[in-house]
């Protein structure tokens, strides 16, 4: 009996003293935090999306009613369309622009570090500060943009209040704010492109544009995929700009899904509806991500 007990004690000692145990202990902390702060809320949100919950009384199961609301309510439906439009306008243009800027700043040019810093500056500015600056730039009567338009004889535009311009105006601000961070990712990716491939193309007579389109872009596809996916997610979460600049208007044209979640949860205390919209958001992001993977991976394999 004593030897058996000693064996158990030995194996326990070995287990506790093993590197695997220590590693597991370290892993337990982030895993627990991840479970508590990310995974549990996702499942709780899913549960709430099937309930009517207004905080002051317990959640009440309502089946698919909230999802029915999401797809039947005109305002919510428009928020889905607006979000998709926002994404379709901002992601391709923003990604392409960041790639071009990265490529240009990857050359040995004078002031390269300064220019990189300049492009990155919007990333380190707070959304509130950025929004305040852009509100002034877009101001119909006192704005910088309309001033310059006036110089070339173009009448002033009501950037944030014109239903045809409001979403585009937000897209411009979003691209301005994201070019820097995407540029840094592309710059890192550009370092991995073998120089000899580029030089071989040049020897074969490719001009810089052909080299960029036929060598750089294909080799950068994994990085482009990463930027497209993270940028898309970022746009779906884009709340601060809308809060500060348009509050969903005019005519609900900038009313995106995340703004609709906010309105339902904090404005009307309809947490179930807000949860349902956010679940739909999650599904749309997943679909867009899968499409991005498919498009960019297929071409990579081709």
Q: How far is residue 142's CA from residue 148's CA, in Å, rounded to a whole number? A: 11
- The count of other CB atoms within 10 Å of the CB of residue 114 is 9
By CB under 8 A, name the one of 95, 263, 278, 292 that touches other proteins.
263
User: Chain-centre distance of CA 105, in angstroms?
Assistant: 23
Q: Which stretch binds other proteins (CB under 8 A): 23-31, 109-117, 192-200, 208-216?
A: 23-31
> Across the strands, what pairs with 52?
60
Residue 125 or 161 with smaller CB distance to other proteins? 161
Rule CB under 8 A: is residue 124 a binding residue for other proteins? no
Are the CB atoms for 62 and 51 separated by under 8 Å?
A: yes
Could you say which of 199, 266, 286, 293 contacts other proteins (CB under 8 A)? 266
Which residues 32-51 are close enough to bind other proteins by CB under 8 A? 32-33, 36
Instruction: Identify the residue among 6, 12, 15, 28 touching other proteins (CB under 8 A).
Output: 28
Q: How many residues bind other proteins (CB under 8 A)?
A: 43
Stretch that binds other proteins, among 2-10, 16-24, 109-117, 280-288 (CB under 8 A): 16-24
Indicate which single residue of 13, 61, 251, 293 sits in contact with other proteins (rule: CB under 8 A): 251
List the structure tokens of 165. Answer: 């311009």
Radius of gyration (C-alpha) of the chain in whole angstroms: 25
Q: How far is the CB of 285 from other proteins (least distance, A)?
A: 24
Q: What angle do CA 38, 42, 43 make, to 5 degrees?
A: 125
Indicate whether 267 belongs to the interface with other proteins (CB under 8 A). Answer: yes
Q: Please, which residues bridge with residue 60 across strands?
A: 52
For other proteins, the binding residue among 45, 47, 54, 149 (CB under 8 A) is 54
Residue 261, Cβ neighbours under 10 Å: how many? 22
Determine which residue in the list 80, 91, 137, 160 makes contact with other proteins, applying CB under 8 A: 160
> Where do runs of H (alpha helix) occur along the chain?
2-17, 19-34, 40-48, 65-72, 74-104, 112-124, 127-138, 144-151, 166-190, 195-203, 208-211, 217-219, 221-236, 240-245, 257-262, 271-301
Q: How far apart are CA 138 and CA 84, in angstroms?
A: 23
> Using the rule CB under 8 A, which residue among 13, 21, 44, 61 binds other proteins?
21
Min dist. Cβ of residue 142 to other proteins (A) = 7
Residues at the site binding other proteins, with contacts judged by CB under 8 A? 16-17, 19, 21-22, 25-26, 28-29, 32-33, 36, 54-56, 75, 135, 139-142, 150, 155-156, 158, 160-161, 243-252, 263, 266-270
């Amino acid at each position: 009996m004593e030897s058996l007990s000693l064996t158990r004690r030995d194996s326990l000692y070995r287990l506790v003293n093993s590197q695997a145990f220590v590693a597991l202990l370290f892993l337990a902390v982030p895993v627990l935090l991840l479970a508590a702060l990310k995974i549990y809320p996702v499942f709780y949100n899913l549960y709430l999306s099937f309930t009517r919950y207004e905080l002051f009384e317990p959640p009440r199961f309502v089946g698919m009613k909230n999802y029915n609301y999401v797809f039947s309510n005109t305002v919510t439906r428009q928020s889905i369309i607006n979000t998709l439009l926002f994404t379709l306008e901002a992601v391709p243009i923003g990604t392409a622009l960041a790639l071009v800027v990265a490529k240009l700043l990857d050359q040995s040019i004078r002031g390269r570090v300064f220019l990189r810093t300049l492009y990155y500056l919007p990333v380190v500015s707070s959304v509130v500060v950025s929004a305040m600056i852009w509100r002034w730039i877009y101001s119909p009567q006192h704005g910088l943009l309309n001033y310059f338009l006036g110089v070339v004889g173009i009448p002033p535009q009501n950037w944030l209040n014109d239903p045809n311009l409001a979403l585009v105006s937000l897209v411009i601000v979003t691209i301005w704010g994201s070019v820097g961070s995407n540029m840094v990712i592309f710059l890192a990716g550009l370092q991995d492109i073998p120089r000899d491939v580029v030089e071989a193309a040049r020897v074969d007579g490719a001009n810089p544009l052909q080299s960029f389109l036929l060598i750089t872009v294909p080799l950068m596809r994994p990085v482009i995929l990463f930027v497209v996916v993270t940028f898309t997610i970022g746009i779906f979460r884009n709340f601060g700009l809308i809060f500060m600049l348009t509050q969903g208007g005019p005519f609900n044209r900038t009313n995106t899904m995340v703004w609709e979640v906010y309105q339902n949860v904090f404005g009307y205390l309809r947490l179930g509806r807000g949860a349902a919209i956010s679940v739909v958001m999650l599904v749309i992001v997943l679909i867009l991500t899968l499409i991005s993977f498919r498009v960019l991976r297929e071409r990579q394999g081709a």
